[in-house]
Amino acid sequence: MDLQYGRFEQILTQFLLKSIHIILDSRVPSTRPYSRCREVKKSDKWFNLALGDRPSALENLNFWHRNLTEPIIIDIILVQEPPNSSCGYSLLPTTSGLGTFTETVIERWVVQCEYLRTMTPQSSDVSYKKTYKKSIILLRSLFSMMRLLPAYKAFRKLSSTNQTCDFDINYKVSTFSVPFSRTEEELMKHYSFIPVDAQQGRFAISVTYRDNLSHFNLEASTSFPPEIITDYVGSPLTDPLRTFPSSLERRFHATPLLSRGMHSPSSVPFQRPHSWTSGLHRGVSSPQSQPLAGCPVLYRASYEVSSAISDTYGRKVQDCKSPAHYEAASSNDSYQLSPPFSPSPSPSPPAYLTSGNPVQTRFRSESAPVSIPHPIVGRSSRYISPNSSDPNRNSLPPLSPRFTKHDSSSQESPSGTRSLRKPDSLRSAESSCGMTYLGQKVSRDAKDDSGRFSGLLSSSDSPRVGFSRSSSRLSFQDDLDECDFSCPFIVDDVDTSESQANRNLDLRKGSEASSQAISSVRKSQDAAVGALVHMLRTAPPLRLDSSSYASGFEKSELESIAGAGSGFVLPRKTSDALEELKAYSEMKELLLCKSGSITSRAGSKDETSSS
Amino acid sequence: MNCEVCQLKELEVEHIEVREVLRCILHTILFHRALGLVRPKDVDLELFDITYVQCGDVEHEKKINEKIDHFIDRVEKHPNKKNQICLSFYEVKNKQATWFTNKVERHYWEQWYINLNTVQHPKTHSGKSHHPKVVVDPGETASEERNARRTALESSLREVLFQIIKFVNEKKDHVPPIPNLDGVSFPYEITISSSSDSAFGMDMLKRMLQTGHPTMLS
């Protein structure tokens, strides 16, 4: 009986995971490329539907969803800036218009196991096989349905890489939900998949969705052409001491999510446990949190200004982050579970959990609230705020990405789920803050972030630029400083009078029309050349043979005498003294050789005369 | 084991739309019946704003394309007719060999009937207008009509896909045990028939009642 229940529980757990995976993969844009050539992992073979890497946050589903009787509710939320006009959807009671954007639940998915008190007696050997087979069919139809509902178009627009959108899609996964109002219900339709009978209940999936999204005017426009910004801070063409323009500073101080979250009437239930969100709210106890600036206007504007940089930045971070992150996630892949894929005529039975008694672990009453943020994707406006109700929030490693590079402990932490995403605006603004070595830094920090924030939901694996990045602008500066010192041709590193003189000389010789940045580059090159020339000039002369040495010695001696007579004394350095000593030793050896040869000749003559 | 039959809603399609419509419907059905390990592949239709899912099996995609080509050839030869494509799933049961026959019995457990009414609308209207003072551009009218038809067809196609999902969800008990195969796990066949065939209706009835003989009426 325990064996059968274990199988049932295993199927149920994987069913929930696969359902959430399908829903989020079809609604939340992901920058994670799915390679069709890659071997299907064991965990991905469940229900014979290979979807690719599962979001790492789903690995923690067992952690916060202890009671399998509780439904899992996934809200798909449309985030949009309300129009300036007074009329429009922003006045609809369905939206929680806070600040400068509105949020509308366009889909609500409910995945659950409906437990029944009485079950018809069935052969235990057949029941879980049939359940598994029917679950396969159910999940196939769920996968197809995701593409037929209206929200799929919005998802495709967001996922399009060559389009910028004036909206965003977020999600919220929880075990509870705020009921829809009557007005909302009138605008929505409902569809329930036929439940699948299981040993202890029925696997059920249902959806309440907005049938018509046309009034949201989900616009997507082609992206702006790459704009080359020549005067960003840190560029060799600009003054290194250039300050931020006031517009960027204003953006950094946009309305924080904290206030929005706190004032939102719908935020109260969000603070309850058993939920993770994509950053719709912030914890109460984090007033000092960085203003992540979730305003869509912010993202759009910043993207327009520094589209070229942010594109490169975002893409590089994404590319660097994805493999690193999913390697970390997959390392903790299905610790006990194994999907049924054994060769058998019937659906392969799932392996039973042999390590420990899963029953007791499942029905633990307490559960830690977990906040799993939603990753930021490309150009879409996203906003994430940490859930302060997460007690494990403080267990995260320190913020600086440089020092968390090898912090592997946070990777597999089941509580490592703090919403630490930063909107694209802040990231792009930082990227315009003087990142001469941005490419290397971004990739390095991206890997740090991926290793650190493995708890973040990664279905839409955008660059994770959470708190560490937003608060580590100083660390960025430190990085730059260190890199400056490590680079041999930067002017600041060559702190000698000669290099300074050469630099001044080169500056005088250089073009007056060239900018200071170009001159600084030239300075570094000229400085190096000048240093080399100086070294050659001040190097002691080479003394190749004794004759030349002797003549040179005599010459130098005469010079020194003359110099001494004239009162002019040449400065002597250690190198000179060593050279002279070397010359003396060579002379000595030469003399010894000569004397030795004379002695030998004299000896041989004596011998011959005596013989 | 009974044979579940699903008659899909009839669609009125133009010749240029046949391929896309058929690929969409056939692959959607196959995806729900390919219960082996699959890597789903999203495919966007070009003529319609619809995305359907393929099971990603190249061999079966090729097989379906061949059948569609065959159907299109038939339609071009006999336009403006109602056609029916039947996608049947069966189990193979070896009958006891006799002296003269060694039949392999097929037991059909599910049949899908795709009903297409292929039409060919004239491209342009005739020149004369009843109101000579009113200048009517026949090209625009035809284009508008085509757009309206296409929009209606898209809506109908979407209804057909919903119909497939609904049927797949409602009927699960008749599905045989899944063999340990990747991709398409159950053997199937695609047959084509049209209203011009003399035994069109009889053949359909015959196949619905039949449990033994394999039928190939293409």
Span B144-156, mean pLDDT? 91
CATH of residue B48:
3.30.900.10
Q: Is the pTM of this model over 0.95?
A: no
Structural Rg of chain B based on CA atoms = 20
The single-letter DSSP state of residue A511 is -
- Cβ count within 10 A of residue A299: 31
What is the predicted pLDDT for the residue at A209? 94
Instruction: Confirm whether the ipTM is greater than 0.90.
Output: no
Residue of chain B nearest A26, judged by CA positions: B42
Q: Which residues pair with A188 in a beta bridge?
A: A210
* B175 part of contact set with chain A, CB < 8 Å: yes
Q: Who contacts A19 (Cβ-Cβ below 8 Å, separation ≥6)?
A: A72, A109, A111, A139, A142, A205
User: How far is Cα A65 from Cα A7, in angstroms, rounded to an integer?
Assistant: 18
Contact A343/B35, CB-based, under 8 Å? no
Ordered DSSP codes for A418-463: ------HHHHHHHHTBT-TTHHHHHHHHHHHHHHHTTTS--TT---
Does the structure show a pLDDT above 60 at B115? Answer: yes
The single-letter DSSP state of residue A518 is H
User: How far is Cα A538 from Cα A269, in angstroms, rounded to an integer?
Assistant: 78
* B51 part of contact set with chain A, CB < 8 Å: yes
> Domain containing B89: what range?
4-120+142-197
Residue of chain B nearest A147, judged by CA positions: B51
Q: CB of A248 within 8 A of CB of A289?
A: no
The secondary structure element, H or E, covering residue A110 is strand A102-115
Chain B residues in contact with A341 (beta carbon < 8 A): 37, 180
Question: Distance from A373 to chain B by nearest Cα, in Å?
Answer: 27
Backbone angles phi, psi at A26, to 5 degrees: -95, 0
Q: What is the dihedral of CA A511, A512, A518, A524, to 10 degrees?
A: 70
- Condensed to tens digits (0 to 9), the pLDDT of residues B167-188 reads 999 998 898 888 877 777 788 9
Chain-centre distance for alpha carbon B149: 19
- Condensed to tens digits (0 to 9), the pLDDT of residues A420-434 reads 344 444 444 444 444
Q: CB of B218 within 8 A of CB of B70?
A: yes
The partner residue sitting opposite A50, judged by closest CB among B38, B42, B170, is B38
Contact B32/A140, CB-based, under 8 Å? yes
Give CATH superfamily name and number for A1-30+42-82+100-216. Answer: HORMA domain (3.30.900.10)
Chain B residues in contact with A348 (beta carbon < 8 A): 180
- Residue among A128, A148, A203, A205 with most chain B CBs within 10 A, to mutate: A148
Contact B35/A137, CB-based, under 8 Å? yes
Per DSSP bridges, beta strands A201-210 and A102-115 are antiparallel
Contact B172/A345, CB-based, under 8 Å? no
Contact A48/B52, CB-based, under 8 Å? no
The partner residue sitting opposite A348, judged by closest CB among B28, B165, B180, is B180
Q: Which amino acid is at A475?
A: S
User: What are the structural domain ranges in chain A?
Assistant: 1-30+42-82+100-216
Distances (CA, A) of A444 to A30, A265, A595: 21, 40, 69
| SS3 category, B37 | strand
- Residue among B31, B50, B61, B172 with most chain A CBs within 10 A, to mutate: B172
- Residue among A25, A125, A145, A147 with most chain B CBs within 10 A, to mutate: A147
Chain A to chain B, count of Cβ pairs less than 8 Å apart? 85
Residue of chain A nearest B28, judged by CA positions: A144
What is the predicted pLDDT for the residue at B206? 57
Half-sphere exposure of A461 toward its Cβ, with a 13 Å CA cutoff? 31
**B100 domain residue, yes or no:** yes
Q: CB of B111 within 8 A of CB of B2?
A: no
Share of chain B above pLDDT 90, in %: 42
Q: CB of A277 within 8 A of CB of A374?
A: yes
- Condensed to tens digits (0 to 9), the pLDDT of residues B181-215 reads 777 778 899 998 876 554 455 555 655 565 444 44
The secondary structure element, H or E, covering residue B145 is helix B138-170
What is the predicted pLDDT for the residue at B9? 94
User: How far is Cα A196 from Cα A122, in angstroms, rounded to an integer?
Assistant: 14
Among positive and negative, which fits the CA dihedral A393, A395, A400, A401? Answer: negative
> Where in chain B does DSSP place strands (E)?
4-7, 11-14, 41-44, 51-54, 81-94, 104-119, 188-194
Distances (CA, A) of B80 to B11, B14, B75, B83, B195: 13, 9, 8, 9, 10
Q: How would you label A439-471 residue by residue, b for 16+ Cβ within 10 Å and e otherwise?
A: eebbbbbbbbbbbbbbbbbbbbbbbbbbbbbbe
What end-to-end distance do the CA atoms of chain A give, in Å? Answer: 120
Chain-centre distance for alpha carbon A80: 25
Residue of chain B nearest A342, judged by CA positions: B180
What is the predicted pLDDT for the residue at A120? 54
What is the predicted pLDDT for the residue at A570? 59
**B129 domain residue, yes or no:** no
**B215 domain residue, yes or no:** no
Contact A153/B49, CB-based, under 8 Å? yes
Q: Who contacts A277 (Cβ-Cβ below 8 Å, separation ≥6)?
A: A170, A171, A172, A173, A174, A270, A371, A372, A373, A374, A387, A419
Chain-centre distance for alpha carbon A486: 25
Q: Which two tokens stand for residue B119?
A: 């039409």
For chain A, residues with pLDDT lower than 50 are 85-95, 123-125, 247-273, 279-338, 341-367, 371, 373, 375-497, 546-554, 558, 561-567
Residue of chain A nearest B54, judged by CA positions: A144
A408 or B67, which is more confident: B67
Contact A40/B37, CB-based, under 8 Å? yes
**Angle between the N-to-C axes of helices A124-148 and B15-33, in degrees from 0 to 180, rounded to the nearest 10:** 150
Number of domains in chain B: 1
**B205 domain residue, yes or no:** no
* B151 part of contact set with chain A, CB < 8 Å: no
Among positive and negative, which fits the CA dihedral A159, A161, A163, A166? Answer: positive
